[in-house]
Amino acid sequence: MKRIKVISLGGTISALGKNRLDFKNYTSGKLTGEELIEAIPEIKDIAQVDIVQLDNISSTAINKNHWIQLREMVHTYLYEDNYDGIVITHGTSTLEETAYFLHLTVNSEKPVILTGAQRPFSAMSTDVHLNLLHAIVVAAHDESQGKGVLVVSNETISNARNVTKTDTYALEAFQSPELGFLGFITGDLKVMYYQEPVQRHTVTSAFKDVSLTNMKEVAILYSYAGATGDLIEYIAKSGNYAGIVMAGTGAGRFSPKEDEALKVAEEKGLFVVRSSRVSSGNVPHITHYSFLQAITADNLSPQKARILLMLALQKTKNIDEIQELFYTH
Distance, CA of 146 to CA of 274 (rounded, Å)? 31
CB count in 10 Å sphere of residue 177: 14
Continuous segment of H or E residues that includes residue 9: strand 3-10
Instruction: Note the Cα 229 to chain centre separation in Å.
Output: 28
The torsion angles phi and psi of 108, rounded to 5 degrees, stand at: -160, 150
CA distances from 270 to 15, 71, 181, 228, 308 (A): 40, 27, 35, 19, 15
CA distances from 167 to 86, 97, 171, 254, 298 (A): 26, 16, 8, 26, 23
CA distances from 297 to 137, 167, 311 (A): 34, 23, 14
**DSSP tag of 110:** S
CB count in 10 Å sphere of residue 321: 12
Continuous segment of H or E residues that includes residue 88: strand 85-89
* Residue among 76, 151, 146, 159 nearest 111 (CA): 146
CA atoms within 13 A on the CB side of 203: 8
Q: Which of 12, 94, 98, 164 is catalytic?
A: 12
DSSP H stretches of helix in the chain: 33-38, 64-75, 95-105, 128-139, 230-238, 256-267, 302-312, 319-328
CA atoms within 13 A on the CB side of 124: 4
Residue 12 is among the residues annotated as catalytic for this protein:
yes
Catalytic residue set: 12
